[in-house]
Copies of this chain bind each other. A is one copy, B any other.
Amino acid sequence: MRLLIAVYVLSIISISPLPLLPPPTTSPLYNYFILYISPALAYIIATWGIDNLEEKLVKRGLFGLDIGKRGTKREKYKVPEALGVVTGISHVVVLSLTTYLCRTSTPPTLPVLLSSLTSILFMLFLGFTDDVLEWGWTAKLVLPTVSSIPLVAVYDGSTSVVAPRFLHSLFWTPPHQSLTSLSTFLANLGMTVYPGSRVGLIDVSWVYGVYMSLLSIFTSNCINIYAGINGLEVGQSVVISCCILLHNAHEISAGVSSTQQHWFSVMVLLPFLTGSLALLRKNWYPASCFVGDTYCYSAGVVFAVVGIHGHFSKTLLLFFIPQVLNFLLSLPQLLKVVPCPRHRLPRYNKSTGLMEPSEYALPGGGKGTNLTLINAWLKVGGPKGEERLTFELLVLQVAMSAVGMCIRYKGIGRGLIFEDEEL
């Protein structure tokens, strides 16, 4: 409980700079709505919805048993599942109200907001039908791709990237930076390598669209596979949201040219964050509700949306370092190179009351630890209680984001591939 309060306090601290920034528009109503009304409304709707829906979900067969509580008296408690549907509804309701405010805005954010709403609704719908119907892998890959099409169609930012310095010789011939034959070939595919570019600018055109689609698929699924212990799905989303909001606040206060895009990100993320905090209260250890694929998918697509329309889609990945590590670690099991049991979450040890790494059985006998970041953390740090485990992984998320930000701001990443985001 004290750890939960710590998460709440840190979230509030990380959004507190927002009201101090130069406001997004000259309309006080609009500014007030974005900063106060919309997050408050999302929190209220989510809290009210969760209380009302819990019983209904259990009655309709949407519940799960908490595998991490095997051997305790909570073992047989029917935990309502797919509560992410409530935060999802609270988020889209608030964003729908926002569209009305945005209808006459300059520069026009309405198409951008509508395409975001479309993608979020699509994934929310996909997530909920997945909780009920359990889609196959095809649907899980095809539908997010389709849902990202409106995002890509509306994207109006730069499609240029800065090539890393060690690759420059592939595209430009010194000393006058004239183009190589590879560059001419790329031109035939619709891309533009700028002759004489000193930073190494390449307009990758439609490839950027493909990248944005893939980003959307990755963020939707990566939260779903870095999950399984109480509070981790929502907790990591809260941490990522706070980090992105801090990044937005930093960029706005630095007066970058894409200030409007960063405010757009704030507009979408704030109500999502408060809705998630409402859900975290119930999903924190010991969880009285599960969030379901509904939450994981819709959270993932929210991050993709703000990254793409906030024009920081490459920086975005720096907030997903634990998710990327977990994905890479999981690959052998996801690709079935190594046996993959249905559940890979850590095992509760009844005698000690602590969580321990779980194992898979090899066909020829013998065992191996399941390849997830959670199990790896337990292997390194030793068994620990479920609440503490979640909290430590959230601290890891914060630490990794700090490392990411160092890459982004402190020279290592500068001059590599991030320069163009200020174009």
Q: Which residues of chain A have a CB within 8 Å of any CB of chain B? A: 53, 56-57, 60-62, 85, 89, 92-93, 96-97, 99-100, 102-103, 110-111, 114-115, 117-118, 121-122, 124-125, 128-129, 132-134, 143, 146-147, 149-150, 152-154
Contact = CB atoms under 8 A, between A and B. Distances in A.
A22 B166 CA distance: 55
A149 B96 contact: yes
Given A92-B122, A96-B150, 13 more contacts: A56-B133, A60-B61, A60-B132, A62-B132, A85-B129, A89-B143, A93-B143, A99-B149, A100-B149, A100-B153, A110-B153, A121-B125, A124-B125
Copies in the complex: 2
27 contacts: A57-B133, A60-B61, A60-B133, A61-B61, A96-B118, A96-B150, A97-B146, A97-B149, A99-B118, A99-B149, A99-B150, A99-B154, A100-B149, A100-B152, A103-B153, A103-B154, A111-B114, A114-B115, A117-B118, A117-B150, A118-B118, A118-B121, A121-B122, A124-B125, A125-B125, A128-B128, A128-B132
Q: Which 9 A-B pairs have the closest CB atoms?
A: A114-B114, A121-B121, A103-B153, A125-B125, A111-B111, A99-B153, A96-B149, A99-B150, A100-B153
Contact of A146 (B61, B96, B102): B96
A351 B152 CA distance: 61
Contacts of A56: 133-134
Contacts of A152: 100
Given A60-B133, A62-B132, A114 B125 contact: no
Contacts of A110: 111, 153-154
A131 to B, nearest CB: 9
Nearest to A103: B153
A153 B105 CA distance: 11
